[in-house]
Structure 1
Amino acid sequence: MNTSLTYRQATERDLDFLFDLRTKTMVPHYEVSGLSTDRETTMQRILYQFEKANIILLDNQPIGLLKVDRTFTNIDILQLQIDPAQQGKGLGKKILTDILEEASLAGKTVSLSVLKTNKAQHLYTSLGFRIVDEDQNSYFMETEKQ
């Protein structure tokens, strides 16, 4: 894939973009799961660990969000959202592959959670994530330490 994916720190100026992105990518899953989709709850999810939020840029245009928490032993993917208009092009797989490579080089595990209604779980499984726990709405997945 010959695309230019870059990242920049999210700022308050990105909140409208992030609200729109989250509405398009997550609200359908929350509705099916019976979870709250009101504006206040959506903003709380956007602002959760906002200092770790990065806007994903494709050819300098914002197309998504990557929020990652890096610790000494783990990389936790808190949120990964790609605009539906850009899905199915291998971008999510490329982003995840880069994170998995980083973890492998550092001897870390990678973890994430995914709603049971979200078909992205198939991508995660194909990249080596396995379910280690679950609750009513989500699977908790991780990779083996490399």
Structure 2
Amino acid sequence: MKAPVTYQKATEKDIDYLLDLRIKTMVPHYAESNLPTDRETALQRILYRFDKASIIFLDGHPIGLLKVDRTDTNIDILQLQIDPDQQGKGLGKMILTDILDEASEQGKTASLSVLKTNKAQHLYTSLGFTIVDEDEHSYFMEFSSFENTDGTDNLC
């Protein structure tokens, strides 16, 4: 049985929660990557594509953020953050699986980027994402239901 995860469009009232969440989930990765970790930079990242942001709730309690941009051909997972207290319970995998099922049903590609210092990249490859590009700090990954069905990944 699936956990009762629900989504609610983020509003300005959620900024403080999202700032706290971002600091807990992303600042360690940014610090390890020698990227800015100040409050203003974190706030700018929260506000990026804020119209696509939803708060993730578990049993009526906020546990994370999902920011997704859907187009005719792609589902771009802009941000997925799960509170550290809720990590390791399969929630991220469940949320991503739902998105990948949607992409497969609609014949779309799913894409995301992940910092090279973020261990979540292993979750993404286990779900079928492959690295299609990279820069100094990030991997750019895609999932396509009609490609890479042999179970391999590109991290090796």
TM-score (norm 1): 0.98
Aligned to 1:83: 83
TM superposition outliers: structure 1 runs of 4+ over 3 Å:
none
1:44 aligned partner, one-letter code: Q
Measured against aligned partners, the alpha-carbon deviations of 1:43-77 in whole angstroms (never above 9, x if no partner) come to 00000000000000001100000000000000000
Counterpart CA distance in 1 for 2:2 and 2:46 is 30
Counterpart CA distance in 2 for 1:83 and 1:144 is 28
SS state at 1:143 partner: strand
Kindly indicate whether residue 119 of structure 2 is the aligned counterpart of residue 135 of structure 1.
no
Give percent identity, aligned residues only: 75
Counterpart CA distance in 2 for 1:107 and 1:57 is 28
Counterpart CA distance in 2 for 1:116 and 1:13 is 32
Counterpart CA distance in 1 for 2:116 and 2:72 is 29
Q: CA deviation at 1:93?
A: 0.2
Aligned to 2:112: 112
- Alignment RMSD (CA, Å): 0.8
Q: Is the 8 A contact 2:68 2:77 kept in 1?
A: yes
Counterpart CA distance in 1 for 2:84 and 2:144 is 30
Kindly indicate whether residue 50 of structure 2 is the aligned counterpart of residue 50 of structure 1.
yes
Measured against aligned partners, the alpha-carbon deviations of 1:74-108 in whole angstroms (never above 9, x if no partner) come to 00000000000000000000000000000011000
Counterpart CA distance in 2 for 1:2 and 1:102 is 16
Aligned to 2:122: 122
Matches within 5 A, 1:31-70: 31-70=31-70
2:4 aligned partner, one-letter code: S
2:6 aligned partner, one-letter code: T
TM-score (norm 2): 0.92
2:79 aligned partner, one-letter code: Q
Counterpart CA distance in 2 for 1:83 and 1:119 is 15
Aligned to 1:95: 95
Kindly indicate whether residue 32 of structure 2 is the aligned counterpart of residue 29 of structure 1.
no
Gaps of 5+ in 2: 147-156
Q: CA deviation at 1:145?
A: 4.5
